[in-house]
């Protein structure tokens, strides 16, 4: 039986991993799914964790890049069959999580035979704890560790993600369309190179007008430009 930690690099999975090691729990592998659109500080954090625990994290990646799925992949099912690209994700279609993380890890686990998977679900995330598979364990939930406690635990051990959690609630993919407008505004101001990269997909030639109500960062950028212009008036 393999004991495998699903490591996202965030506060909860980091806390879980460190606590498991402190408690002497068995860990055979630590896996991380890289979307290719992570904050640079996240990669630094993973390296720091590896050095701290003296173990390597296995990095998994999808067969194709975010940009490919965003603008080039030909859909094969549903009412948009034959349409090129998934475009921006939404709450109803979180394809980026599905294709760049979930499917990648599922494919990896297929060849593992018997295993127990450990996932960092905090005690204040009861909805995510429901109906879990028999071979999945949420140690933080079982230990009563909330998200705030997990972050404090990491800070106390010298892991601070170079300030990412002081700026954002979510520190995974920097172009996640599900983040707040305030987060986009901050990304634009404090991390201009990442914001510029996030703007690139909207410039790609894809199906933009196919689905209504989708996120469009280029429209948000026009809003920010108007805000800048108003500020310059004073």
Instruction: Kindly give the parts of the chain with pLDDT less than 70.
Output: 205-214, 233-234
State residue 41's pLDDT score: 96
- Give a yes or no: residue 207 inside a domain: no
- Give a yes or no: residue 20 inside a domain: yes
Please, are residues 79 and 117 in contact by the beta-carbon 8 Å criterion?
Answer: no
Token pair of 206 as six digits: 């894809």
Q: What is the DSSP letter of 163?
A: G
State residue 215's pLDDT score: 79
- Give a yes or no: residue 139 inside a domain: yes
| 3-class SS of residue 70 | helix
Residue 44 sits in which domain range?
2-172
92 burial level (CB within 10 Å; 0-12, 13-18, 19+)? exposed
pLDDT mean across residues, the chain: 91
Please, are residues 153 and 19 in contact by the beta-carbon 8 Å criterion?
Answer: yes
- Give a yes or no: residue 48 inside a domain: yes
- Give a yes or no: residue 218 inside a domain: no
Q: What is the CATH number of the domain that holds 22?
A: 3.40.50.620
């Amino acid at each position: 039986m393999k004991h495998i930690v699903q490591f996202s690099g965030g506060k909860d999975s980091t806390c879980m991993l460190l606590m498991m090691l402190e408690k002497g729990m068995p860990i055979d592998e630590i896996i991380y799914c890289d979307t290719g659109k992570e904050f640079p500080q996240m990669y630094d954090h993973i390296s720091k964790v590896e050095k701290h625990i003296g173990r390597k994290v296995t990095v998994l990646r999808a067969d194709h890049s975010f940009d490919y799925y965003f603008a080039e992949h030909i859909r094969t099912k549903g009412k948009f069959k034959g349409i090129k690209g998934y475009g921006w994700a939404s709450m109803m279609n979180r394809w980026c999580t599905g294709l760049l993380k979930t499917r990648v890890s599922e494919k990896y686990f297929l060849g593992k035979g018997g295993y127990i998977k450990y996932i960092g679900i905090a005690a204040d995330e009861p909805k995510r704890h429901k109906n879990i598979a028999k071979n999945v364990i949420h140690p933080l939930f079982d230990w009563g560790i909330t998200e705030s406690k997990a972050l404090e635990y990491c800070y106390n051990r010298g892991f601070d993600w170079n300030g990412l959690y002081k700026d954002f609630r979510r520190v995974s993919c920097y172009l996640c369309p599900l983040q707040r407008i305030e987060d986009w505004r901050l990304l634009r101001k404090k991390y201009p190179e990442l914001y510029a990269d996030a703007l690139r997909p909207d410039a790609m030639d894809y199906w933009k007008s196919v689905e209504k109500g989708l996120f469009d960062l280029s429209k948000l950028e026009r809003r920010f430009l108007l805000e800048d212009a108003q500020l310059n008036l004073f």
